Structure 1
C-alpha cells in the first residue's frame, strides 16, 4: 500500500475492525485504528542501541496527516543524529516540573500505587503545604520555606499533622532528587523535634462527667456544632467504631429492622467484614439521620459543596477543637467554651467507649470484639466465635446509660 491520503485515512477509521489496525504511511509513520478508542499516529524507529521503538505522536483529531508527517520527520532527524525521541520527550516532561506543586503532581501517582489511603497525604499537601510553598520554583526552595510550613501547622495546635507534613516534604523532595531536579533535600535537616515533637502514646478517655459537659456544651452551641456532628459523636461513643467507618457509612450497609450494621471488609481497617448490633437508642438516632439526609446514600452526607459525598475526615475534629477555642486558618480565634476541660480528639471517643464497657463489667474479650479488635494470642487463633449476642447486650447497656447524657 502506498502513502496514505486524507480520504483513505477517513475510510480506514470508518471501517475500523475487531482488532487494532496499523496502516503504514512510510518513513516509520503509522495510522493506528484501535478496536475501541481514538485513532492515533504512531512512529516506529530503531534506537542507537539497535532496539525497535514505538512512540505515539498524537490523536488523529488533533494532528492532521500533513502535521503527523512533519512531526515524524522531525523525530526521525533526531534518530539520525543519534538521539532517542522517547528519551527526549521524557526529559522535556521533567523540564516542565518547575514548581513544588509541579513536583507534587509528578510524585502523587506513585503514592496511589503503593498506599491504601493516598488521600491522606493529598489532603495534607493541599491544605497545609501547598498554600505556603506550592508556587515556589524548585531552584529557589530553601530550608526556611520548610520551616514556615511546619511552624504554621504547629502553631495551629496540630503537632501530629506537623510531623506528617514534614515526612511528606522529605519524600516529595527526595523524589525531586531522583529526577535530578534538586541537588539536595531542603527538608532533610529537620526532625520531628522541629515539628510536632515526639508523639506520646495516647490514653485519653472521657469520664462520664466530661461526657456530660461536652454534650451539654455542644448542644448549647448548636450553631457551630451542628446536629450531624452531635449525633456522630454520640454514635462513636456508643458503638466504638472508627471515625472513617462511621463518616463514610452508606445506608445500604444497614438492616435497621434487625438492628444490624454490616460493615464491609473494604471499609474495615482489619479488611474483614464485621456486623455491629444496634441498640434501640442508636436506632432512633439513625432514623433521625435518615430524615436529615433527604434521601442521600450516606448516613452523613456532605453539607458543603465538595468532591466528597460524605462527611469529611477533618469535620469532627475541627468542630471539637473549635469548642476549645482553636480554629485552623483563622486569625481571630473563637472563645473557649469548654472551660478547663482537657482537649480530646475524635479517636478518644472510641477509647472512651472501651473504658465504659470495662466499667460496666463487660468481659475483656467481648469488649475487644465490640471495637472490632482481633483477639490476641492462642485465644485469637482458636476462638472464632464473634460474640454477636454478647456484644448486643453490652452495647445496649452502654447506649441506655449514655442516652441520658446525650438526650
Structure 2
C-alpha cells in the first residue's frame, strides 16, 4: 500500500503545485497550470526516467498503482524500457489496413513517379473490402475475393496490379511487425487476371472505320466527349491521361499548339504538340461542351477528380463489346467480330499509321513524346516541331474519312 490516500490526493491537488510520492516510483504531479497527472519515475541503464501514466481526472489512485506495477514489470522481468514501448506504440498506430496503406504509400510517393496509380487501385478496389479491418485479421479468402471481383468486372490487368500491391502492402506489414504472415503471398497472376499477352494490338483502317461507325451509332452509351477523346488520341498519339486530364491553360487554339508540361508527361519531358486543323476544330467543340470548366474533359459526375475518370473510356468501349462491369444482365455486343481493344491501342495504332505514311522513325517517335535512343538521343536535342506538324497533319487528313464528325 502506498503512502497516499484518495482523500489526501484530493487535498494535494487543491494546494500548492508540486510532485508528491505514493512510493514505488509513483507520483502525482500538480502543475502551476493545467491538470494534475500521474507519472512513474524509474531508472534504467543508470539513468533516471519519467513516464506519464494519465490525467488524474481519468485515472484514480488505485488505477494508477495498477498501471505503475504493470510498467515496472516490463522493466524488471522483460528488461524493456516502458517509455520506449509507449513512444513506439504512439509512432506506429497501424490499427487498420487503411493505416498500413498510408504508411506504405509514403515510400511509393518518393520511389514511384506515378504513385497515384497504386493509390487509385487501392481506394477503388481494395479499401472497400478490407480497408477498415485490422491488418492481422485479413485472410487469404479476403485476397481471393478482391482479385476475383476485379477480374469478373473485365479488368484482368487491374486484378494483376491489385495482387502485386497487396503483396507489397502486407510485406510492409511484416517489416513493421504489424502482421505475422502475408495473406496474399500464395497467390499468383493465374489466380488474378492471368498472364498478360504482349501488347501489340494495332487497328487497321478497316477496323477503325467500323469502330467509329459503332461509336456514332451508340450516342446514348458512348458520349460525344468519349468520341472526340478517341479521335484525338488516335490522331495525336498522346497518352490517355495526358489528354483526359488536360487543362485549357495548356492549349492555345489560335497558335494551334498544346504545351504538355513535364509534370504531366509520363516520360518526364514536356513537349509542344502541333495541332492539325481537324484537331483544332474538335478542341473548339470541347471548349463549348466544357461550359467554362478549366479542364478539357470535365468530370460530369460528383467526384474528387475534376476531370474525366481514368477508367471512363475503357469502360465505355468495353460496354460496346458486350461487357459492363457489375451488371448481371450484359449489354449486346455492338462491335461484331472486331477483336477487343483498349484506349492505349489507339496510341499504338497512331504510331503504326505514321510509319505507313512514310514518316521517319525519329519523327514518329517524337510525335509520341518518346525519348530518342542511343547517341541520337544524347546529342540531338532538336525537337522536330515542323516535321511533327507535317506528320500529324498528313495523318489527320488520312483519317478524315474514317473519323467523320
Both proteins in one fold, TM over 0.5? yes
Q: Please report how far the alpha carbon of residue 369 of structure 1 lies from its aligned counterpart in structure 2 after TM superposition.
A: 0.8
Could you tell me which of 62, 85, 93 is aligned with 1:87?
A: 85
State the SS of the aligned residue for 1:117: coil
1:54 and 1:238 map into 2 onto residues whose CA distance is 70
2:58 and 2:137 map into 1 onto residues whose CA distance is 39
What TM-score, normalized by structure 2, do the two folds share? 0.80
State the SS of the aligned residue for 1:193: helix
Q: 1:141/1:261 Cα in 2 relative to 1: closer, same or farther (>3 Å)?
A: same
State the SS of the aligned residue for 2:191: coil
State the SS of the aligned residue for 1:405: coil
Q: Please report how far the alpha carbon of residue 186 of structure 1 lies from its aligned counterpart in structure 2 after TM superposition.
A: 1.1
Q: Does the CA contact (< 8 Å) of 1:293 and 1:299 recur in 2?
A: yes
How many corresponding residue pairs?
A: 368
Q: Which residue of 2 aligns with 1:242?
A: 239
Q: Does the CA contact (< 8 Å) of 1:177 and 1:185 recur in 2?
A: yes
| Residue 138 (structure 2) pairs with residue 141 (structure 1) | yes
Q: 1:313/1:52 Cα in 2 relative to 1: closer, same or farther (>3 Å)?
A: farther
Q: Does the CA contact (< 8 Å) of 2:94 and 2:178 recur in 1?
A: no
Gaps of 5+ in 2: 1-27, 34-38, 76-80
1:228 and 1:68 map into 2 onto residues whose CA distance is 60
Look at both structures and tell me which one has the larger radius of gyration over its CA atoms: 2
1:344-355 matches, cutoff 5 A: 344-355=341-352
2:32 and 2:102 map into 1 onto residues whose CA distance is 32
1:171 and 1:161 map into 2 onto residues whose CA distance is 15
1:227 and 1:48 map into 2 onto residues whose CA distance is 72
State the SS of the aligned residue for 1:166: helix
Could you tell me which of 295, 303, 317 is aligned with 1:298?
A: 295
1:91 and 1:200 map into 2 onto residues whose CA distance is 46
CA offsets 1:276-303 (integer angstroms, 9 cap, x no match): 0000010000000001111111111111
Q: Does the CA contact (< 8 Å) of 1:78 and 1:84 recur in 2?
A: no
Q: Please report how far the alpha carbon of residue 113 of structure 1 lies from its aligned counterpart in structure 2 after TM superposition.
A: 3.7
CA offsets 1:44-77 (integer angstroms, 9 cap, x no match): x9984678999999xxxxxxx997999xxx7x96
1:225 and 1:51 map into 2 onto residues whose CA distance is 72
1:139 and 1:383 map into 2 onto residues whose CA distance is 54
Could you tell me which of 275, 278, 285 is aligned with 1:278?
A: 275
State the SS of the aligned residue for 2:402: helix
CA offsets 1:254-284 (integer angstroms, 9 cap, x no match): 1211111111111112212100000001000
Q: Does the CA contact (< 8 Å) of 2:236 and 2:367 recur in 1?
A: yes
State the SS of the aligned residue for 2:254: helix
Q: Please report how far the alpha carbon of residue 135 of structure 1 lies from its aligned counterpart in structure 2 after TM superposition.
A: 4.6
